[in-house]
Amino acid sequence: MLIQSGGLLDPTALLEGSGPWVLPVIMGIIFIETGLLFPFLPGDSLIFTAALLTGSLGLPLPALVAGVAVAAIVGDTVGYAIGRRFGRRLFKPDARILKARYLEKADAFFARYGAHSLVLARFVPVVRTFVPPVVGMSSMPYRSFLLWNGIGGLAWALLLAVAGFFLGKIPVVADNVELIAVGIVVVSVIPIAIAVVRERRADKRERERAAVEADRG
C-alpha cells in the first residue's frame, strides 16, 4: 500500500501514507538498510523529508532524531555481527545484492579511515551498508565499535534531521518538499550509478583482455 502511494522514490508519499506508524516505518527502513544489508533504500532523503514534515506528520523532532539514531545504531550492530559470524562467505561476485565488489569498497573505505569510517560512512550511500560487516571481520574490539557506531548513528540522525527541520522554515523549500525529496534521492543514487558504470567498464576490459590472451594461447 505504501509502495503504491508513491514508493521509495517519493519519501513524502511514503511518510504521509504511514499515518500513526510513520516513526516505526522510518526506523524499519533505516534498520533494513544496514542490519539486513540492503543498500538501495532512501535513508538520507527519508530522514530529511521527515524533518521537513514534522508538523504535518505529528512527529516531534527529538522523537525523529532518537528513533533514527536507535535504528541506525542497532542496524550497524547487526551488520557487525553478520561480518563477525559469517565473514566473506555471504558475498559473491554474481550476487544480486551482496556483491563482492561492495564488500571490497567498504573494505578500502575502512582501511583508509580506520575506526572513523563508522562515522564517515554514515553519509555515503552503499558504503554505510557494508562497512559494519567489514569491521566485524576486522580485529577492532567490540567496545571501540560500539563507541564509533554510537557517534556515527547519532551524528547522522541529528545533522540530517536538524538540516531538514530548519530548511523547512524557508518558504521555497516548504512549498517544494516533493521535488526536494526526489532530488535528494537522485543525488544519493548518482555515486552508485557512477560506480556501477565504472565497474562494468572494468569488467568489459577484463573480459576483452582475457579473450585476447585466450586467442594468443
* pLDDT, mean of each 10-residue run, the chain (217 residues): 48 84 93 84 83 88 95 94 81 69 73 78 81 82 89 91 82 61 58 61 71 67
> In this structure, are residues 86 and 79 in contact, taking their beta carbons and an 8 Å threshold?
no
Q: What is the pTM of this model?
A: 0.72
CB within 8 A of 144, min separation 6: which ones?
A: 115
The pLDDT assigned to 43 comes to 80
CB within 8 A of 164, min separation 6: which ones?
A: 47, 48, 49, 50, 51, 52
Q: How far is CA 82 from CA 32, 77, 129, 200, in A?
A: 13, 9, 12, 28
The pLDDT assigned to 105 comes to 72
For residue 209, the SS3 value is helix
Query: In whole angstroms, what is the distance from residue 90 CA to residue 211 CA?
Result: 29
Query: In whole angstroms, what is the distance from residue 149 CA to residue 42 CA?
Result: 20
The pLDDT assigned to 149 comes to 92
The pLDDT assigned to 2 comes to 40
Question: If 0-12 CB within 10 Å is exposed, 13-18 middle and 19+ buried, where does residue 102 land?
Answer: buried
The pLDDT assigned to 193 comes to 60
The pLDDT assigned to 4 comes to 39
Please name which of 39, 44, 49 lies closest in space to residue 14, comparing C-alpha atoms: 49
> In this structure, are residues 154 and 37 in contact, taking their beta carbons and an 8 Å threshold?
no
> In this structure, are residues 29 and 165 in contact, taking their beta carbons and an 8 Å threshold?
no
Please name which of 126, 29, 121, 142 lies closest in space to residue 77, comparing C-alpha atoms: 142
Query: In whole angstroms, what is the distance from residue 136 CA to residue 51 CA?
Result: 32
The pLDDT assigned to 95 comes to 67
